[in-house]
Structure 1
Amino acid sequence: MQILNVFLVIFLIVAAIMVERTKDLLSAVIIFTSYSLMMALLWLLLRAPDVAMTEAAIGAGITTNLFVVVISRTRRTEK
Protein backbone atom coordinates (compact mmCIF):
# COMPACT_ATOMS: atom_id res chain seq x y z
CA MET A 1 0.00 0.00 0.00
CA GLN A 2 2.92 2.33 0.68
CA ILE A 3 4.13 1.96 -2.92
CA LEU A 4 0.73 3.08 -4.21
CA ASN A 5 0.86 6.20 -2.03
CA VAL A 6 4.33 7.06 -3.34
CA PHE A 7 3.16 6.51 -6.92
CA LEU A 8 0.15 8.80 -6.38
CA VAL A 9 2.27 11.56 -4.86
CA ILE A 10 4.73 11.37 -7.77
CA PHE A 11 1.80 11.49 -10.20
CA LEU A 12 0.42 14.56 -8.43
CA ILE A 13 3.76 16.36 -8.65
CA VAL A 14 4.15 15.54 -12.35
CA ALA A 15 0.56 16.57 -13.09
CA ALA A 16 1.00 19.90 -11.28
CA ILE A 17 4.13 20.64 -13.30
CA MET A 18 2.41 19.65 -16.54
CA VAL A 19 -0.57 21.95 -15.83
CA GLU A 20 1.82 24.84 -15.33
CA ARG A 21 3.87 24.09 -18.46
CA THR A 22 1.16 23.36 -21.05
CA LYS A 23 0.06 26.13 -23.42
CA ASP A 24 -3.27 24.58 -24.47
CA LEU A 25 -5.84 25.56 -21.86
CA LEU A 26 -8.17 22.62 -22.50
CA SER A 27 -5.27 20.20 -22.03
CA ALA A 28 -4.45 21.94 -18.77
CA VAL A 29 -8.03 21.46 -17.59
CA ILE A 30 -7.93 17.76 -18.45
CA ILE A 31 -4.66 17.32 -16.58
CA PHE A 32 -6.08 19.26 -13.64
CA THR A 33 -9.11 16.95 -13.63
CA SER A 34 -6.86 13.89 -13.46
CA TYR A 35 -4.96 15.62 -10.65
CA SER A 36 -8.20 16.11 -8.72
CA LEU A 37 -9.29 12.51 -9.23
CA MET A 38 -5.93 11.17 -8.07
CA MET A 39 -6.07 13.49 -5.07
CA ALA A 40 -9.52 12.11 -4.23
CA LEU A 41 -8.11 8.58 -4.45
CA LEU A 42 -5.24 9.55 -2.18
CA TRP A 43 -7.68 11.00 0.38
CA LEU A 44 -9.64 7.77 0.22
CA LEU A 45 -6.50 5.71 0.85
CA LEU A 46 -5.72 7.98 3.81
CA ARG A 47 -9.13 7.06 5.26
CA ALA A 48 -10.79 10.42 4.75
CA PRO A 49 -13.84 9.51 2.64
CA ASP A 50 -15.67 12.77 3.29
CA VAL A 51 -12.74 14.81 1.98
CA ALA A 52 -12.37 12.39 -0.96
CA MET A 53 -16.01 12.83 -1.98
CA THR A 54 -15.73 16.59 -1.70
CA GLU A 55 -12.55 16.65 -3.80
CA ALA A 56 -14.13 14.45 -6.45
CA ALA A 57 -17.36 16.44 -6.59
CA ILE A 58 -15.93 19.94 -6.48
CA GLY A 59 -12.39 19.50 -7.78
CA ALA A 60 -13.11 17.12 -10.63
CA GLY A 61 -16.77 17.87 -11.25
CA ILE A 62 -17.84 21.45 -10.77
CA THR A 63 -14.47 23.12 -11.33
CA THR A 64 -13.87 21.20 -14.55
CA ASN A 65 -17.27 22.18 -15.89
CA LEU A 66 -16.69 25.83 -15.04
CA PHE A 67 -13.26 25.83 -16.70
CA VAL A 68 -14.61 24.20 -19.87
CA VAL A 69 -17.45 26.74 -20.11
CA VAL A 70 -15.01 29.63 -19.70
CA ILE A 71 -12.60 28.18 -22.27
CA SER A 72 -15.45 27.70 -24.74
CA ARG A 73 -16.20 31.43 -24.46
CA THR A 74 -12.57 32.52 -24.91
CA ARG A 75 -9.52 31.48 -26.91
CA ARG A 76 -8.28 27.94 -26.38
CA THR A 77 -4.55 28.58 -26.57
CA GLU A 78 -2.37 30.97 -24.70
CA LYS A 79 -0.15 33.51 -26.49
Structure 2
Amino acid sequence: MELFNVILIVFLIVSAIAVERTKDLLGAVIIFTAYSLVMSLLWLLLRAPDVAMTEAAIGAGITTILFVAVISRTGRMEK
Protein backbone atom coordinates (compact mmCIF):
# COMPACT_ATOMS: atom_id res chain seq x y z
CA MET A 1 0.00 0.00 0.00
CA GLU A 2 2.87 2.34 0.73
CA LEU A 3 4.25 1.83 -2.79
CA PHE A 4 0.86 2.82 -4.21
CA ASN A 5 0.95 6.07 -2.19
CA VAL A 6 4.44 6.85 -3.48
CA ILE A 7 3.32 6.24 -7.07
CA LEU A 8 0.37 8.59 -6.59
CA ILE A 9 2.56 11.32 -5.10
CA VAL A 10 5.07 11.00 -7.94
CA PHE A 11 2.18 11.27 -10.41
CA LEU A 12 1.01 14.43 -8.65
CA ILE A 13 4.45 16.02 -8.89
CA VAL A 14 4.86 15.09 -12.56
CA SER A 15 1.39 16.34 -13.48
CA ALA A 16 1.93 19.63 -11.62
CA ILE A 17 5.13 20.21 -13.59
CA ALA A 18 3.38 19.19 -16.83
CA VAL A 19 0.56 21.69 -16.26
CA GLU A 20 3.10 24.46 -15.81
CA ARG A 21 5.13 23.50 -18.89
CA THR A 22 2.44 22.84 -21.51
CA LYS A 23 1.52 25.52 -24.03
CA ASP A 24 -1.81 23.96 -25.01
CA LEU A 25 -4.33 25.34 -22.53
CA LEU A 26 -6.88 22.58 -23.08
CA GLY A 27 -4.17 19.99 -22.49
CA ALA A 28 -3.25 21.79 -19.27
CA VAL A 29 -6.87 21.61 -18.13
CA ILE A 30 -7.01 17.88 -18.83
CA ILE A 31 -3.79 17.29 -16.90
CA PHE A 32 -5.11 19.44 -14.05
CA THR A 33 -8.30 17.35 -14.00
CA ALA A 34 -6.23 14.18 -13.69
CA TYR A 35 -4.27 15.87 -10.89
CA SER A 36 -7.49 16.66 -9.02
CA LEU A 37 -8.84 13.15 -9.41
CA VAL A 38 -5.62 11.58 -8.12
CA MET A 39 -5.56 14.08 -5.27
CA SER A 40 -9.10 13.09 -4.31
CA LEU A 41 -8.01 9.45 -4.36
CA LEU A 42 -5.14 10.31 -2.06
CA TRP A 43 -7.52 12.10 0.33
CA LEU A 44 -9.66 8.98 0.32
CA LEU A 45 -6.66 6.82 1.20
CA LEU A 46 -5.89 9.24 4.05
CA ARG A 47 -9.39 8.52 5.38
CA ALA A 48 -10.82 11.95 4.69
CA PRO A 49 -13.84 11.10 2.52
CA ASP A 50 -15.45 14.52 2.93
CA VAL A 51 -12.34 16.27 1.61
CA ALA A 52 -12.05 13.68 -1.18
CA MET A 53 -15.62 14.30 -2.33
CA THR A 54 -15.10 18.06 -2.23
CA GLU A 55 -11.86 17.78 -4.24
CA ALA A 56 -13.53 15.57 -6.83
CA ALA A 57 -16.60 17.78 -7.14
CA ILE A 58 -14.90 21.17 -7.16
CA GLY A 59 -11.36 20.39 -8.30
CA ALA A 60 -12.18 17.96 -11.07
CA GLY A 61 -15.78 18.93 -11.81
CA ILE A 62 -16.67 22.57 -11.56
CA THR A 63 -13.18 23.96 -12.14
CA THR A 64 -12.77 21.89 -15.30
CA ILE A 65 -16.10 23.07 -16.67
CA LEU A 66 -15.22 26.70 -15.96
CA PHE A 67 -11.74 26.39 -17.53
CA VAL A 68 -13.12 24.74 -20.68
CA ALA A 69 -15.80 27.46 -20.96
CA VAL A 70 -13.16 30.17 -20.73
CA ILE A 71 -10.90 28.44 -23.24
CA SER A 72 -13.79 28.13 -25.69
CA ARG A 73 -14.21 31.90 -25.56
CA THR A 74 -10.50 32.64 -25.94
CA GLY A 75 -7.56 31.05 -27.76
CA ARG A 76 -6.52 27.47 -27.14
CA MET A 77 -2.76 27.98 -27.45
CA GLU A 78 -0.67 30.24 -25.25
CA LYS A 79 1.29 32.94 -27.05
TM over 0.5: yes
Letter in 2 for 1:56: A
TM-score (norm. length: structure 2)? 0.99
Q: Deviations over 1:15-51 (max 9, x none)?
A: 0000000000000000000000000000000000000
TM-score (norm. length: structure 1)? 0.99
**RMSD of aligned C-alpha atoms?**
0.2
Structure 1: which 4+ aligned runs deviate by more than 2 Å?
Answer: none
**SS of equivalent to 2:26:** helix
Supply the distance in 1 between the matched residues of 2:23 and 2:49 (Cα, whole angstroms).
34
User: Identity rate of aligned residues, in percent?
Assistant: 80
Q: Could you list the runs of 5+ residues in structure 1 that have no partner in the other structure?
A: none
Letter in 2 for 1:67: F
Letter in 2 for 1:72: S
Letter in 2 for 1:26: L
Alignment length (residue pairs): 79
Q: Could you list the runs of 5+ residues in structure 2 that have no partner in the other structure?
A: none
